[in-house]
Chain A
Amino acid sequence: QVQLQESGPGLVKPSETLSLTCTVSGGSINHYYWSWIRQPPGSGLEWIGYIYYSGSTNYNPSLKSRVTISIDTSKNQFSLRLSSVTAADTAVYYCARHFREGAPYFDYWGQGTLVTVSS
């Protein structure tokens, strides 16, 4: 059974960089697309961006100037960096696997990790 686990600091100061890692277990990171999605408290879901195991990426234009997603296939991990954070970036951050190539909906999700932006 594929499992995803987010890890990283739960508190980030304004103007700093948020960094999270998603570790994939129970399956290979190869040959799949992987996404980061976030959910502000009490709100809906926002797609941040995705990465293919080859390293190609696509970012939400609303965040593109601040987002970097990377992948380390040797560790079965992919990562998110979001720079210049503000309180508006406070959210539960999820990592998720695309169903298959050409099917950008998610069959496996991490449990989510709350990141709070505050001084």
Chain B
Amino acid sequence: EIVMTQSPATLSVSPGERATLSCRASQSISSNLAWYQQKPGQAPRLLIYGASTRATGIAARFSGGGSGTEFTLIISSLQSEDFAVYYCQQYNNWPYTFGQGTKLEIK
């Protein structure tokens, strides 16, 4: 099973600033990575797939990058609604697995 490791566990950033979240795979997953945003009491929402393609309706301030084992999600200018938990998910090998999440909190 591929283990997905996200860092940091918690990231404190001020509104308007840039946030960089990391996700590492225990083996190469090519670009078969998705990112989700989850707010309290809600289901996750798809942000990015194919490591860098924004899902429909996702703001341009969200961008994804990386391939192989190292991936990043960048939020260029944080808005109040962006403070949430973010998960990465690999879909290269079954069972598909998620990272443990990064909580993005207001500084």
Given contacts A99-B49, A111-B43, contact A104 B91 (CB under 8 A): yes
Given contacts A61-B95, A99-B49, A105-B34, contact A44 B43 (CB under 8 A): no
B101 at the interface (CB under 8 A from A): yes
Tell me, rounded to whole Å, the shortest Cβ–Cβ distance linking A61 to chain B: 6
Chain A residues lying within 8 Å of B94, measured Cβ to Cβ, are 58
Separation of A106 and B46 alpha carbons in the complex (Å): 6
Please encode chain B, from 65 to 107, with 1 for each CB lying within 8 Å of some chain A CB and 0 for all others.
Answer: 0000000000000000000000101010011111111000000
Q: Is the CB of B99 within 8 A of A104?
A: no
Chain B residues lying within 8 Å of A45, measured Cβ to Cβ, are 44, 87, 89, 98
Q: Is the CB of B101 within 8 A of A44?
A: yes
Separation of A105 and B35 alpha carbons in the complex (Å): 9
Chain B CB within 10 A, most for which of A104, A107, A111: A104
**For chain B, what secondary structure do more than half of its interface residues adopt (helix, strand, loop), or is it mixed?**
loop
Separation of A43 and B38 alpha carbons in the complex (Å): 12
Smallest Cβ-Cβ distance to A105: which chain B residue: B34
Given contacts A105-B34, A105-B49, A107-B55, contact A47 B44 (CB under 8 A): no
Smallest Cβ-Cβ distance to A59: which chain B residue: B95
Chain A CB within 10 A, most for which of B1, B43, B46, B56: B43
Q: Is the CB of B55 within 8 A of A47?
A: no
- 20 more contacts with CB within 8 A, not counting A44-B98, A62-B95, A106-B36, are A43-B100, A44-B87, A44-B100, A45-B98, A46-B98, A47-B97, A47-B98, A61-B95, A96-B43, A99-B46, A103-B49, A103-B91, A104-B91, A105-B34, A107-B46, A107-B55, A107-B56, A109-B43, A109-B44, A109-B45
A residues contacting B by CB (< 8 A) are 43-47, 58, 60-62, 94, 96, 99, 103-107, 109-112
B residues contacting A by CB (< 8 A) are 1, 34, 36, 42-46, 49, 55-56, 87, 89, 91, 94-101
